[in-house]
Structure 1
Amino acid sequence: MGQSAIDLPSRLLLNLKPWRNAQAWRIAFSGGLDSTVLLHLLALLAKTQSLPALSAIHVHHGLQAVADAWPEHCRSVCAALGVSLQVVRVQVQPGASLERAAREARYLAFSDLVQAGEVLLTAQHCDDQAETLLFRLLRGAGVRGLSGMPRQRPLGKGHLLRPLLDVTRAELEAYASEQGLSWIEDPSNQDRQYSRNYLRHQVFPALIRRWPQAQATMARSAAHLAEAQGLLEELACMDLREASSASEFAWLGLRSLELASLVHLSEARQRNALSHWLEPLTRLPDTDHWSGWEDLRDASGDACPVWRLADGELHRAGGRIWWLSGCWLRPPPAAGAWQAQASALALPYNGVLSLTGQIPDGPLQIRYREGGEVMALPGRGHRDLKRLLNERGVPSFVRGRLPLLYKGDQLLAVANLEGLDGSAGGSWNLHWQPPGEDLGLR
């Protein structure tokens, strides 16, 4: 970490070597020291190297009055370097942590802007990585959290890359001084009420007085933990491959896992596999809330347990666990009459229904199960719908939203269930396209 700031261009170019064929490099440019140095380095390299097209993005949060002058500063810097700039204004949602809300708004904007084949370059450095490690350690994070900020990860349609993670803040300051650069000093960076600022201004100076290489060694520990997390993810993929057998209800379009393949694993491997599976879907539970998984896993065979998480729910049915989110968590309102001439019927919060073949004489109506329904079947007489659903092992969370086709008080068909969907008569068929998952932005 002791190299001269003069070495920075060659070190940066080496770190960016795998990404030289990207469609474009877009720089997250706040106007502060770190991103100013990154922008200057890239503009300098572009004069002698064949690089992807460079452009910068400045996100304006509007959280403090002084920030209103920053976009103009960023424009002047970019203009002097011959780099185009896009200024994006975002709305920061109120919440317990202003830091986190601003970060989420910023990365949501980046995600929307970065296109396929493009790379967003951000200027986090070695000191930032050390602060991240200590901050997360104090919050009780596991291996995933303690691995720190990844050097690269998918972002929107492209990728995010942090090419300065092996560079210290002192090296960036030395480079900026040598080059005579000017940058924005954000007043909020001095506010000790923010946890990261407290660590930066109060804790790390004391650590560095005793252990001068503290940031470098902590960043190295984060790299070791990132490698360990990679091994855990490989193990999770192996365990999930066995649990990802096809379900006869694949037409639901829901993610599910076979429970039996998970329960024979150790509890640590169960949590590891489920964490990997859930990570793209929801904020992961803390240690205390993993008892919800044990309750769901160990419930009696005839129970319908539910584990409620931040962004959805896990249900257990038919020997599988199912992820439900979005529309699946809202009971569908009454569907109403079916217009026989319509080719499809959009069901509120419940997908789309279609009738194919020779449509039965009307008037027809779509309803949902309330209990006590009876259906006449060729050669079998009248049968309780509940028993018919039990025979086919229809998951309990599906039963209340399966579309039922009625003519008057006569139940004609149950969508998607062979033999009950009208196909027994051979002349028509009731097909339901369930609602898609609302995954949101993770």
Structure 2
Amino acid sequence: MKRINLEQWASFLVQSYINNLYIAYSGGIDSHVLLHLNASDERLKKKLTAVYINHGLQKEAEAWCKHCESVCNNLGIKFLSLAVNATAELGESPEEAARNARYEALKPLLGKDDVLLLAQHAEDQLETVLLQLFRGSGLKGLSGMPESMAFGQGKLVRPLLDVSKNAIIDYAEANQLEWIEDPSNQYTHFDRNFLRNDILPLLKQRWPSLDKTVSRSAKHCSNAQALIDTLSGDLLTAVIHPSDNTLNLSRLKDYPLLQQQLIIRQWFQHLGLKMPSQNFVQKVLDEVVAARDDANPVLTTQGYCFRRYRNTLYCLKPTQNRLGDELIWPSDDRLLQIVDDVTYEVVDSSSGISAELWRNARITVRFRSGGESIELPNRSGHHPLKKLYQEAGVPTWERARMPLIYLDDTLAAVGEHWISNEFYSLKKEPCLRIIRHKINPKGNDGTPDVD
């Protein structure tokens, strides 16, 4: 068997200052072998916790949980059971839903210097690469599963990834292990099961070393992808506005088409989004980036929308506006939340709205209905807000969300941008100004977190 050198594996974990060692334990043969291997070393055993995930999809799940707990009790290993909701959402396969739910449950367990072990082996890698190939994936998909990766605050490791299924079976039988056989593994309407049960046995009759050769190809793809990631990261740095994660369109257009595609994909990764399809990347370039300056195209995916304003490409998370409402801003409250991810704050300043006026006024917040204007300090006449927004480069979708702040029914300020001349003070008295806080970890709204 190409097996784990247990002594080398244990020494690596001990020398790496591993704190807690978690094993995703389903009770099947693969995870049972991995559990047994690690429990065989006393240095690792005291760090081990086996985690059973109950997906709630099969009636046998509770019995399987009890079996797993019994195995752990016999081995003297800590056991943890977690229930998840693995119901597939629209556009999500049952396998993907279960995997996502499982990972979301496991991720919070890991602290710094903790490791999660998964029992995927060489044939799992073979199946993954072939399925990605059939789906038309690029290098990233054809790289298969990495042996290790960051996960939560710790690390995810697949120590059996180069071990064959036959070697795992041999180990289980030699050590008289008892494992669970999941009947759903025979349901060939699942793509992976169809490939595993019906296709791969035929392929291996012709190419017995298929798992090794495909794994080698996956590593070549992974190395190539690493080089591309470095290149595309450098390209993105030259195009992105780091303060708000928007893209400069004129710089983007300076690059050839293939490099533009790389930049868009790297941008998605930078934003924490799933990799877009080739078709969607091209739609972004054709319908948004290449649109006329006066056009207002919008594309949506993964709950975000992509649109341009002037020379900038935005990724936006739609939020629930409270348009039409008149909000009361109590004068003794420093903060006012406008929508879920936007808050305005009153802060002390050497110039701005007189603090005394603010404290003694009835403060209301309204939203633009059209035709509003404001008189500004050091500028003659009243200025339509539409013109001011254009001058300041405020994107069209942000204008309707920007609060108009009234003191005793007179417009005193427009968001964080302008203060009316009537309320603006330069005297040596306490003054206030308004700043905006934006919380949006993935997309952006075209403005810094605090303006």
* Correspondence list, 1:252-271, <5 A: 254-271=244-261
1:366 aligns with 2:365: yes
Deviation string, structure 1 residues 60-95 (Cα, Å, up to 9, x no partner): 112111222111111111112221010111111234
Question: Which residue, 62, 86, 92 being the options, matches 1:92?
Answer: 86
Indicate the residue corresponding to 1:287 in structure 2. Answer: 278
* Correspondence list, 1:293-312, <5 A: 293-294=284-285, 295-312=287-304
Q: 1:108 Cα deviation (Å)?
A: 0.7
User: In structure 1, what is the Cα distance between the partners aligned to 2:142 and 2:371?
Assistant: 54
User: In structure 2, what is the Cα distance between the partners aligned to 1:169 and 1:141?
Assistant: 25
User: In structure 2, what is the Cα distance between the partners aligned to 1:109 and 1:163?
Assistant: 21
Q: Which amino acid aligns with 1:158?
A: G
* Correspondence list, 1:223-262, <5 A: 223-246=219-242, 250=243, 254-262=244-252
Tell me: CA distance 1:159–1:377, structure 2 relative to 1, closer, same or farther (3 Å): same
Indicate the residue corresponding to 1:38 in structure 2. Answer: 34
* Correspondence list, 1:16-95, <5 A: 20-44=16-40, 46-47=41-42, 49=43, 53-95=47-89
Q: Counterpart of 1:65 in 2: which secondary structure?
A: coil
Q: 1:420 Cα deviation (Å)?
A: 6.2
Deviation string, structure 1 residues 228-258 (Cα, Å, up to 9, x no partner): 1111111111111112345xxx4xxx42222
Contact 2:411 2:420 in 1 (8 A): no
Indicate the residue corresponding to 2:447 in structure 1. Answer: none
* Correspondence list, 1:133-172, <5 A: 133-172=129-168
Q: 1:366 Cα deviation (Å)?
A: 0.6
Contact 2:336 2:343 in 1 (8 A): yes
Contact 2:293 2:310 in 1 (8 A): no
1:197 aligns with 2:193: yes
Q: Counterpart of 2:294 in 1: which secondary structure?
A: coil
Q: 1:56 Cα deviation (Å)?
A: 1.2
Deviation string, structure 1 residues 276-325 (Cα, Å, up to 9, x no partner): 22135333332222332121111122333322122311222242222211
1:185 aligns with 2:175: no
User: In structure 1, what is the Cα distance between the partners aligned to 2:14 and 2:98?
Assistant: 30
Indicate the residue corresponding to 1:315 in structure 2. Answer: 307
Provide TM-score, normalisation by structure 2.
0.87
Q: Which amino acid aligns with 1:377?
A: L
Q: Counterpart of 1:58 in 2: which secondary structure?
A: strand
Deviation string, structure 1 residues 380-430 (Cα, Å, up to 9, x no partner): 221111111111112223222112112355321112226669995343312
1:337 aligns with 2:337: no
Tell me: CA distance 1:422–1:173, structure 2 relative to 1, closer, same or farther (3 Å): farther
Most deviating of 390-399 and 232-241: 390-399
Indicate the residue corresponding to 1:351 in structure 2. Answer: 342
Most deviating of 397-406 and 88-97: 88-97
Q: Counterpart of 2:150 in 1: which secondary structure?
A: strand
Most deviating of 360-369 and 174-183: 360-369
Please give the root-mean-square deviation of Cα atoms over the aligned residues, in Å.
Answer: 2.4
1:222 aligns with 2:218: yes
Q: Counterpart of 1:34 in 2: which secondary structure?
A: helix
Q: 1:435 Cα deviation (Å)?
A: 4.1
User: In structure 2, what is the Cα distance between the partners aligned to 1:314 and 1:137?
Assistant: 28
User: In structure 1, what is the Cα distance between the partners aligned to 2:74 and 2:422?
Assistant: 71
Contact 2:268 2:276 in 1 (8 A): no
Q: Counterpart of 2:394 in 1: which secondary structure?
A: coil
Q: 1:12 Cα deviation (Å)?
A: 4.5
Tell me: CA distance 1:8–1:422, structure 2 relative to 1, closer, same or farther (3 Å): farther
User: In structure 1, what is the Cα distance between the partners aligned to 2:128 and 2:190?
Assistant: 13
Most deviating of 429-438 and 290-299: 429-438
Aligned residue pairs, count: 425
Q: 1:263 Cα deviation (Å)?
A: 1.6
Most deviating of 428-437 and 211-220: 428-437
Deviation string, structure 1 residues 13-72 (Cα, Å, up to 9, x no partner): 58x55973222211111111111111111111x22x568811111101121112221111
1:105 aligns with 2:96: no
Contact 2:122 2:215 in 1 (8 A): yes
Provide TM-score, normalisation by structure 1.
0.89
User: In structure 1, what is the Cα distance between the partners aligned to 2:67 and 2:153?
Assistant: 29
Contact 1:58 1:74 in 2 (8 A): yes
Indicate the residue corresponding to 1:405 in structure 2. Answer: 405
User: In structure 2, what is the Cα distance between the partners aligned to 1:330 and 1:377?
Assistant: 31
Contact 1:414 1:421 in 2 (8 A): no
Indicate the residue corresponding to 2:435 in structure 1. Answer: 431
Q: Counterpart of 2:229 in 1: which secondary structure?
A: helix
1:9 aligns with 2:6: yes
1:115 aligns with 2:111: yes
Contact 1:28 1:35 in 2 (8 A): yes
Indicate the residue corresponding to 2:263 in structure 1. Answer: 273
Q: 1:8 Cα deviation (Å)?
A: 4.7
Contact 1:332 1:349 in 2 (8 A): no
Tell me: CA distance 1:19–1:160, structure 2 relative to 1, closer, same or farther (3 Å): farther
Tell me: CA distance 1:170–1:423, structure 2 relative to 1, closer, same or farther (3 Å): farther
User: In structure 2, what is the Cα distance between the partners aligned to 1:154 and 1:245?
Assistant: 26
Q: Counterpart of 1:329 in 2: which secondary structure?
A: coil
Tell me: CA distance 1:416–1:51, structure 2 relative to 1, closer, same or farther (3 Å): farther
Q: 1:434 Cα deviation (Å)?
A: 2.9
User: In structure 2, what is the Cα distance between the partners aligned to 1:220 and 1:18?
Assistant: 29
Most deviating of 366-375 and 129-138: 366-375
Indicate the residue corresponding to 2:446 in structure 1. Answer: none
User: In structure 1, what is the Cα distance between the partners aligned to 2:18 and 2:411?
Assistant: 58
Give ranges in structure 2 of 5+ residues lacking alignment: 349-354, 444-451
Q: Counterpart of 2:60 in 1: which secondary structure?
A: helix
